[in-house]
Amino acid sequence: MFSRNAVRKSCASLRFYHSNPIEHVNPLHIKPLAYGKQSPQYKVLSLALQEYVPKHGFTERSIVESLNKLGYPSSMISSIGASNSPSFVHSSTAVMELMKFQLVDKRYRLTEGINPDVTPHYKLPSLEHLLLKRLEMDKPVGEQLTDLMSQLAIPSGFLFETAIPELHRLSDDMIYFSNEKDHHDSAWYAKRLAVSSTYIGSQLFMAQDRSHDFQETFAFAKDKLHRVMRLGEYYNNTEEFAWYTLMSTVNLVKSQLARG
């Protein structure tokens, strides 16, 4: 299950260089999905996600109902999950595809129409705005979140090839498309981990949240984001002070040496 293959695949699915979208044609596929917006798979899965998942959850039944509604034979369900390898711990490959679709499609829709290459920095949305917007997108499936999260967290190839990479792609997107400052060193990783943990924490909270319109979730998410950012500041201030101390020590030693 935790074979080298899975590790290699999850490494290969890390995000690569992004060429600018202005000079290049729009990609045919919504990576890492193997199909684009015009394909039948996309239509079936997005209808299932909108209409049937809130009722039946992330199950084969949602996909079958969506297939029936669109006039496809229900046997097509086997081709929907064709890109996933079957796993003992998951019920069916089609459900895995539906969960993957929920993660990937919502991530793309979150940042649709934002292009930091042309938009001035101050006009970009804030990180908090994007985080709340992403949580907002999960409101309709709020009842099913417990099920979704537990299925995503099952230790299996799916966790390492899809669930975790998608989580980090989401936080990478949220930082890139927002006006949040980005970094050249370890802070690049730390900030992404902080955003990922905020998001996953808020999702877990949302799965249990029974307040009206998930108000408590949004308050929780705001607070959590604020707190991880403050933690980063604490660290940065400590480092700044250590650096200052080091520099003044060096200068002190230098001046003493110069005096002879």
Partner 1 sequence: MLSRVSVFRPASRSFSVLSSLMITEPTSTKLAEKSEHAPKSENLSDAQAAFLDRVIRVDQAGELGADYIYAGQYFVLAHKFPHLKPVLKHMWDQEVHHHNTFNNLQLKRRVRPSLLTPFWKVGAFAMGAGTALISPEAAMACTEAVETVIGGHYNGQLRNLANQFDLERTDGTKGPSEEVRSLTSTIQQFRDDELEHLDTAIKHNSYMAIPYTVITKGIKTICRVAIWSAERI
Phi-psi sector, 16: left (phi>0), alpha (psi -120 to 50), beta: beta
Write out the H or E segment, with its range, that includes residue 80: helix 77-80
Task: Look at residues 31, 14, 53, 12 and name the one whose alpha carbon lies nearest to residue 148.
Answer: 53
Which residue lies nearer to partner 1 by CB, 14 or 153? 14
Whole-angstrom distance, CA of residue 154 vs CA of residue 62: 21
Which residue lies nearer to partner 1 by CB, 79 or 83? 83
Reduce the DSSP state of residue 31 to 3 states and report it.
Answer: coil
b (16+ CB within 10 A) / e for 111-126: beebeeeeeeeeebbe
Report the residue from 172, 203, 206, 207 that binds partner 1 according to the rule CB under 8 A: 172
User: 18-47: which residues touch partner 1 (CB under 8 A)?
Assistant: 18-20, 22-25, 27
Sign of CA dihedral 194, 195, 201, 202: positive
x/- contact string, 109-138, with partner 1 (CB under 8 A)? -------xxxxxxx----------------
Which residue lies nearer to partner 1 by CB, 73 or 185? 185
Whole-angstrom distance, CA of residue 80 vs CA of residue 98: 9
154 touches 89 (CB < 8 A)? yes
Kindly indicate which of the ranges 13-21, 54-62, 63-71, 211-219 contains the residues binding partner 1, using the contact rule CB under 8 A. Answer: 13-21
- The answer to the question of residue 83 lying near partner 1 (CB under 8 A) is no
Which residue lies nearer to partner 1 by CB, 38 or 186? 186
Q: Give the number of residues in contact with partner 1, rule: CB under 8 A.
A: 42
x/- contact string, 173-202, with partner 1 (CB under 8 A)? ---x--xxxxxxxxxxx-x-----------
- The answer to the question of residue 4 lying near partner 1 (CB under 8 A) is no
Report the residue from 4, 17, 73, 75 that binds partner 1 according to the rule CB under 8 A: 17
97 touches 39 (CB < 8 A)? no
Whole-angstrom distance, CA of residue 28 vs CA of residue 35: 7
- The answer to the question of residue 256 lying near partner 1 (CB under 8 A) is no
Interface residues with partner 1 (CB under 8 A) are: 14-20, 22-25, 27, 116-122, 172, 176, 179-189, 191, 229, 232-233, 236, 239-240, 243-244, 247
